[in-house]
A and B are shown apart, each in its own frame.
Chain A
Amino acid sequence: KNEVEQSPQNLTAQEGEFITINCSYSVGISALHWLQQHPGGGIVSLFMLSSGKKKHGRLIATINIQEKHSSLHITASHPRDSAVYICAVWERDYGGSQGNLIFGKGTKLSVKP
């Protein structure tokens, strides 16, 4: 059972294109993260959001709690945006002791010049 689903799995775009990556989840959450992972493996947290919309530079993240859906948008994409983008949710009301950050499998983005 995949509690966090991302689409598409792979995405190839031309430089300058507007990009959307989608994330749907099936559990109740208190927050959702968008993460960026470069080929070397390191992960950078882009956004953490629990409602509405956040913007940072060319990146925009939105979330609809009722629909259990979030999107990550990249405007004016650039080859340096090429990376794997991972959606992860923090499960609400989790009774266990672990962090229970549930990860999607990631979307591999390649932006061609």
Chain B
Amino acid sequence: GAGVSQSPRYKVAKRGQDVALRCDPISGHVSLFWYQQALGQGPEFLTYFQNEAQLDKSGLPSDRFFAERPEGSVSTLKIQRTQQEDSAVYLCASSSRRVGTRGDGYTFGSGTRLTVV
């Protein structure tokens, strides 16, 4: 596709509910990143994929958070038993370059705004 597509754009979940957030990166992009952005803050790293391999998940805040990219394209971020503190915008970004090469422009999705009530 022309850009990084995220769905849904908005999600309201009741506390304790499981949610799944989807990211469609630009076709052929090797690297895919998930970020969490709390209100009034900059994005914080959650996890990184190179193709289908999840090379870094050190930013995931708890074991309720799980991400996958089984075929190296679409990625899903799953949050189990959502809590109010999970309310944030979840951003996905992709890049044609592997991490470790010279930094290149990321392409960001529009984000999914999750509100846990």
A104: nearest chain-B partner, CB-CB: B42
Q: A101 to B106, Cβ gap below 8 A? A: yes
Q: A45 to B105, Cβ gap below 8 A? A: yes
Q: Contacts A40-B110, A41-B111 known; A103 to B89 CB distance under 8 Å?
A: no
B45 interfacial contact with A, CB 8 Å:
yes
B3: nearest chain-A partner, CB-CB: A42
Q: B43 to A41, Cβ gap below 8 A? A: no
B25 interfacial contact with A, CB 8 Å:
no
Place the interface of chain A in its size category: 20 to 34
- Tell me, in angstroms, the Cα distance from A96 to B56 when the chains sit together: 8
A43 interfacial contact with B, CB 8 Å:
yes
CB distance from A22 to the nearest CB of B (A): 15
- Tell me, in angstroms, the Cα distance from A99 to B110 when the chains sit together: 19
A66 interfacial contact with B, CB 8 Å:
no
Considering the complex of A and B, which 5 residue pairs feature the smallest CB-CB distances, nearest first?
A103-B42, A42-B110, A90-B103, A41-B111, A31-B103
